[in-house]
Amino acid sequence: MARARHPTLSQYSHFLTPAYHAFFSRLLDAPDDRPNVNHAAISRINLPMMRMLGLRYLMVDGPIEMPGLTRVARDGRYRLYELADPNLASFSPTRPHRVADARGLLATLADSGFDPRVDVAIAEEPGITDQLVPATDTTLTFVRGGFRFTGRSDGHSLVVLPVQYTRCLELHTVSGSGEGARALRVNLVQTGVLFSGDAEIEGRYRPDGPWERCVRDDVADVERLRIHDLVERRRLPSYSFPGERFRLFAPFGLD
């Protein structure tokens, strides 16, 4: 898909970011999956989260009947489904849910009452007003090295971009009638743009280096959100051994 320039949520890299790994393994992986820090792939259908992340098409190896999924094509045993109303920088929530850390963010996102079109989960962020209004006329265009976002707000609006958040992202307000735009981490992994008035905003990624501390700031975010508290101290997975493990202590809940 990547070679065909089809953007995917799934990633294969040396290391996923801790926040992305936590998000994917808790919300988009099946409970019996064996998530690892090098690879993220969807194995559980979670429509609210998929729509929030911007997923529009989902290829499935087999038939699925589920409200919100419409089959649009078939190729042998593969089916292509389209999700209704994905987030194309069009989600402008007005109900911020403030929580302390990553565990709280994940719990908020997993709540069945959480509607990503109107709800947003944020950690402690100064300067976010509760009087948010929905943005209108939003567009998102990718350009080399970043993106360009436009939107209109009658007050202060927060738009959830289907883009991973990083401290290396820098926003420049190209033109606008309101205050300068600001990027913040929302929904644990996504970029939120806070702006007012009519705004045309450019997002650029700056490289980390000796004079630039953005990656270190990302690492500090991991500490601040206490993502390491989410790590489950399990035994080594069975595929690390040559053969199936002899589960002597399984009846005692220790395996």
236 binds other proteins (CB under 8 A): yes
Subset of residues 157 to 216 that bind other proteins, contact rule: CB under 8 A = 162
CA distance 173 to 175: 6
Mark the segment that binds other proteins (CB under 8 A) among 91-99, 175-183, 210-218, 246-254. 246-254
Instruction: Give the one residue of 14, 31, 65, 75 binding other proteins; rule: CB under 8 A.
Output: 75
Please give the helix or strand (H or E) that residue 222 lies within, else none. helix 214-224
Q: Using the minimum distance from each CB to other proteins, give the nearer residue, 51 or 156.
A: 51
Please tell me whether residue 27 binds other proteins under the rule CB under 8 A: no
d(CA 182, CA 227): 24
The site map against other proteins for 87-116 (x = CB under 8 A) is -xx---------------------------
CB closer to other proteins out of 63 and 180? 63
**CB nearer to other proteins: pick between 46 and 173:** 46
CA end-to-end distance (rounded Å), the chain: 38
73 vs 100, which CB is nearer to other proteins? 73
List residues bridging with 212 in a β-sheet: 209
Quote the Cα angle for 168-171-173, to 5°: 165
User: Taking CB under 8 A as the rule, which mask of x and - marks residues 132-151 in contact with other proteins?
Assistant: -------xxxxxx--x----
SS3 163: strand
Q: Is 72 or 118 the residue whose CB approaches other proteins more closely?
A: 72
- CA separation for the pair 43, 60 (Å, rounded): 10
Among 31, 246, 252, 253, binds other proteins (CB under 8 A): 246
Closest separation in Å from C-beta 207 to other proteins: 19
> Judged by CB under 8 A, does residue 237 bind other proteins?
no
Residues in the chain: 255
Q: Please report whether residue 235 would count as binding other proteins according to CB under 8 A.
A: yes
Least distance to other proteins, CB of residue 7, Å: 5
Task: Name residue 74's amino acid.
Answer: R
Those residues with Cβ within 8 angstroms of residue 176's Cβ, 6 or more apart along the chain or in another chain: 195, 197, 198, 199, 200, 201
Q: Residue 67 burial (CB < 10 Å; 0-12/13-18/19+)?
A: exposed
Residue 112 has which token pair?
């069945």
Determine how β-strand 119-122 pairs with β-strand 95-98: parallel
Q: Which residues bind other proteins (CB under 8 A)?
A: 1, 3-10, 33, 41-43, 45, 53-62, 72-73, 75-76, 78, 80, 86, 88-89, 139-144, 147, 162, 235-236, 241-246, 248-249, 255
